[in-house]
Amino acid sequence: MSTFDAPPREQMKLLAISGSARRESVNTALLLALKDAAPAGVELSVFHRLDTLPVFSPDLEGERTPAEVLEFLQRVSACEGIIIASPEYVRAIPGGLKNAIDWMVSRFEVIGKPIALAHASHRGDDMLASLRLVLSTVSDRFRDDLFLRIPLIGKTPREIASIVMLPERQSEICDFLSAFVSAVRSR
């Protein structure tokens, strides 16, 4: 079989999770820019509806797991790597994101998945430190060395669209995605 006869490589599936439930979240906007810049052969989907997940309770596990949680966990299970972008709420991880993480670790879907962080603000270092600690506990493949920060806080959707299209920002986004895709493939 020659290289031309080799079966096509399957599409890599990545999941980007926004830690904000806000409709016009800058972190969601950053993840959507990553989706638009995903390299060929990579499908990046964005989950930005943490507000639909009920509060985690061990009493709701197993057959009692809510449908919204099962749908979210299916997305986690189907992906090969996760990128998280989150705001800082009172110097901490937003409750909705922590809740989603609690749902993930109560099962097996996230175990061993590569995870990296992106951040759409010039501030938020306390939350990022806490989130890094949580994610390094959740997955032995958390990639603290891969991080993308593009300050978008306070920008309008139109301004964000312009900023992420700047050549230097596109370069940062592409470099980040390329490094993360390589990390995912190095299983």
Q: What is the pLDDT of residue 65?
A: 95
- Stretch 134-145: mean pLDDT, rounded? 93
pLDDT value at residue 1: 47
52-58-63 Cα angle (round to 5): 75
The answer, yes or no, to whether residue 120 has pLDDT greater than 70, is yes
pLDDT at position 8: 55
Contact 70, 103 (CB under 8 A): no
Mean pLDDT for 118-136 is: 96
Instruction: List the structure tokens of 10.
Output: 């399957």
- Supply the pLDDT for residue 133: 96
pLDDT at residue 6 tops 70: no
> What is the structure's pLDDT at 25?
93
Tell me what pLDDT residue 86 has.
97
12-18 sheet: strands from edge to edge = 42-47, 12-18, 81-85, 115-119, 142-149
Distance CA 137, CA 186 (A): 20
For residues 31-49, give the mean pLDDT: 96
**Nearest CA among 131, 135, 164 for reference residue 150:** 164
Whether the pTM exceeds 0.85: the reply is yes
The mean of the pLDDT values for the chain is 93
Note whether 152 and 121 are within 8 A (CB). Answer: yes
- Residue carrying structure tokens 């949680």: 69
Give the mean model confidence (pLDDT) for residues 80-106.
95
Question: Tokens 């809510």 label which residue?
Answer: 66
Quote the CA–CA distance of 167 and 22 in Å, as a whole number.
Answer: 28
Segment 72-82, tens digit of pLDDT: 999 999 999 99
List, in order, residues 6 or more apart from 97 with CB less than 8 Å away: 17, 19, 50, 84, 86, 131
**Considering the chain, what percentage of its residues have pLDDT values greater than 70?**
95
CA atoms within 13 A on the CB side of 136: 10
Angle (CA) 125 141 11, round 5°? 110
* Residue 7 confidence (pLDDT) above 80: no
CA 95 to chain centre: 16
Q: Residue 4: pLDDT band by 50, 70, 90 thresholds? A: low
Q: What is the mean pLDDT of residues 10-30?
A: 94
DSSP assignment of 98-140, as one string? HHHHHHHHTSSTTTT--EEEEE-SS--HHHHHHHHHHHHHH-T
Per-residue pLDDT at 5? 57
Residues 167 and 155: beta-carbon distance below 8 Å: no
